Amino acid sequence: MAELLSHSDSPVPFYCCYLLRSLKPGTRDYVYVGSTPNPVRRLRQHNGDITAGAVSTRSPAALQFEWAWQNPHMSRHSSFDAVPFEDKRALYASSQKRLETKLVALCVMLTLPPFKFWPLEIACESSQLHLDVQGRALRHNVPKHVVIANSEIARTFEQATSNVS
C-alpha cells in the first residue's frame, strides 16, 4: 500500500509511504510503515535482495505523514478529540504494530487536516486488501479525490515516474 506525496524542496515525481506485512510465520499480523522515493528498491532491501540501507528523506510532508501513520496515538493530527469514537480503541491501544490498527489509522488520517487535502493515491497489491480499504474509506468518509487502486507498487511507481517529464 502506498501513498503519493509531493516533495516541498525539489520536484520529485513520486514519493510513497508504505505498509508492509510480515510473512514470517507467527507474525503475519505485524506490519511496518516506512517511506521512500523508490518503493521497488526499498522492498528489495526489506526482502534482503539488496544490502544497502535506506537513504534519509528530506521531504517534510512525507515524514509528517509517515510519522503520523507510525504513531497515530501520539500524532497531533489524530488528537483524541479528532478521532471518531469507534476508532479510539484501535488508535490508542497498545497494538500499534498490527495491520488492523494501521488500516484504521490510515483511514482516520485521510479525513483529518492536512492529509485530507493532499492528492494521495493508495495502491493495494491484493484484491482482498483493496476491497477492505475501499470499505473502510467509505465508512470513514475519506475524500473522493483520494484514489484507492488495486495495483502493484512497481506498476504505480513506473506510471508515476514515466508521466513526469
H/E run at residue 57: none
| Assigned C-alpha cell, 76 | 497531533
Instruction: Tell me what the pLDDT averaged over the chain comes to.
Output: 80
Q: How far is CA 20 from CA 23, 28, 59, 130, in A?
A: 9, 10, 21, 14
What residue ranges do the domains of the chain occupy? Answer: 2-162
Helix axes 99-109, 85-92, angle to 10 degrees: 130
Q: What is the pLDDT of residue 59?
A: 63
Q: What is the pLDDT of residue 64?
A: 85
Q: What is the pLDDT of residue 2?
A: 46
Across the chain, the runs of DSSP E, i.e. the strands, are: 2-4, 16-21, 31-36, 121-124, 147-150
pTM over 0.85: no
Q: What is the pLDDT of residue 4?
A: 45
Question: CA-to-CA distance for 103 and 87, rounded, in angstroms?
Answer: 11
What number of H helices and E strands is found in the chain? 6, 5
| Assigned C-alpha cell, 94 | 497498545
Q: What is the pLDDT of residue 132?
A: 95
The pLDDT profile of the chain, 165 residues, written as one tens digit per residue, is 444 444 444 445 677 889 988 887 887 678 889 888 888 888 888 778 887 766 665 666 667 888 888 887 777 766 656 677 777 777 776 677 788 889 988 998 999 888 999 989 999 999 999 999 999 999 999 999 999 999 888 888 888 788 655
User: Please, are residues 107 and 131 in contact by the beta-carbon 8 Å criterion?
Assistant: no
Q: What is the pLDDT of residue 124?
A: 92
Q: Which residue has the cell 506490519?
A: 31
Burial class (CB in 10 A: 0-12, 13-18, 19+), 98: middle
